[in-house]
Structure 1
């Protein structure tokens, strides 16, 4: 069931080529734009209030990444969420470093509270901190296992009516009706900066074509990362190979490689 969902979502994405509006951090703009292009979506990095309302009238989804945060960016992000709500667009929030500072934690919560349609994508420590629990973190790096954040993720699902993606050695995708475990990827992936941010951007691309669980993006990146690592000598070549793997990914490869389990029933694929 999970594999079928992912294959159908990838096919729709490549047919529709959705525009994804990203308010993201300086470190990963190039990485995430290239990943979106490689999978078949169309990225735009827009940060000005002057064009935000217009942009969100025709974009498929809004991705907000708080990685390089300041007061100017916070104002832009909150305004963008207002516009996304007006145009009934989904918001994908990456609470980078949530728990590392009060500013990051409070900003992430403000965004989550204001979004009408929301997906949260973070590492375990960020998800735990966003839910108000104690987390182990070192800057933006997670020191908690992804399964340790399941309770926090379920809280966030109820609190914000959101779907939650916990990335880690095992990815968990938590929604009101299901919890899905995805076991692809490679141990080298955390050594490439912005890999989680890439997952957030891909989550926005799939959400823009109606796959709002977060499952497809996590599955696609995990499989692509696994393939990329087989041809990489280290993190530098992994990053290049990842773009190629995303571009070349097909239904056969997903059927052969995707490793998933679900703890409760997933809705019919046709309802996505």
Structure 2
């Protein structure tokens, strides 16, 4: 995929305004919903088992974020993935804090194994832990550089027939079609909770219109993060500026700013 294809996917997303079902943590529900609205998608934060089969029949994608995890959430997430499978819809898994506790690690692996059309979006430590390797995470924060997760990502691609997005100073997108590196974004993005979660939600929006590699979402989020950081002085205003940049992003800006390279 090149920048022209990414711009085309963005235009299609805004034209189709796909519905994205999110089972996400309490901390970032508002962030994720607003990011989806700003990019042009339609979010719904649906957690009820009673409506999930009906919801997934007409939604475009399912985003699962394990940030605030307990047994009730796990049962809801499992059922939602089963319904997404039944409807043939893509599942984006954000394995928040995978590697921090056995509950998070085991749940992330179980959900990954269950999903038939899987995209994993996480930081390097989460990706490494999901693959069963030793990571350096601290809670939900990564202590591993993104490039350290490349081999783990390739393992997940093979193990789960997944697409994998590794977030970090350099973002990597790994699939059977190759490995891409994106060098946009800004360090201030790590000082705002939910930035990665917003990327996962946007990954779901692109997946809903058929762009299931994760590359377009990572490209968009990196560019808008860069733009937002140039316009703000700190993480508080960065949150608002990110939404504005998502809303105002156009093909010319994306083409001029995107730093994309294919490694393999």
Q: Normalising by structure 2, report the TM-score.
A: 0.99
- The offset of 1:135, in angstroms, is 0.1
What's 1:267 paired with? none
In the alignment, the residues of structure 2 paired with residue 56 and residue 255 of structure 1 have an alpha-carbon distance, to the nearest angstrom, of 34
Secondary structure, aligned partner of 1:20: strand
The separation in 1 between residues aligned to 2:108 and 2:255, in whole angstroms, is 36
* Aligned-partner SS, 1:138: coil
Q: Which residue of 2 aligns with 1:219?
A: 219
Query: Residues 89-128 of structure 1: matches in 2 within 5 Å?
Result: 89-128=89-128
Cα distance in structure 1, aligned partners of 2:130 and 2:255: 34
Give the structure 2 partner of residue 12 of structure 1: 12
- Give the Cα–Cα distance (whole angstroms) in 2 for the partners of residues 177 and 263 of structure 1: 11
Give the Cα separation in 1 of the matches to 2:195 and 2:248.
19
Aligned partner of 1:145 in structure 2 is 145
- 1:233 Cα deviation from its structure 2 partner: 1.1
Matches of residues 157-236 of structure 1 in structure 2 within 5 Å? 157-236=157-236
Question: 1:24 corresponds to which residue?
Answer: 24
In 2, Cα distance between equivalents of 1:109 and 1:69: 14
CA offset digits 1:52-108 (Å, max 9, x no partner): 000000000000000000000000000001100100000000000000000000000
**Per the alignment, in what secondary structure is the counterpart of residue 137 of structure 1?**
coil
Q: SS of the counterpart of 2:119?
A: strand
Quote the residue 1:238 is aligned against.
Answer: 238
> Any stretches of 5+ residues in structure 2 without a counterpart?
none
Q: 1:241 Cα deviation (Å)?
A: 0.4
Report the secondary structure of 2:181's partner residue.
strand
What's the CA shift string for 1:216-260, capped at 9, x where partnerless? Answer: 000000000000001111000000000000000000001110001
Q: 1:114-173 CA deviation, whole Å, 9 max, x = no partner?
A: 001000000000000000000001100000000000000000000000000000000000
Equivalent residue number for residue 129 of structure 1: 129
For 1:227 and 1:2, locate their aligned partners in 2 and report how far apart those are by CA, in whole Å: 21
Within 2, Cα distance between the matches of 1:244 and 1:195?
14
TM-score of the superposition, structure 1-length normalised?
A: 0.96
SS of the equivalent of 1:173 reads strand
Partner secondary structure for residue 22 of structure 1: strand
Q: RMSD value over aligned CA atoms?
A: 0.5
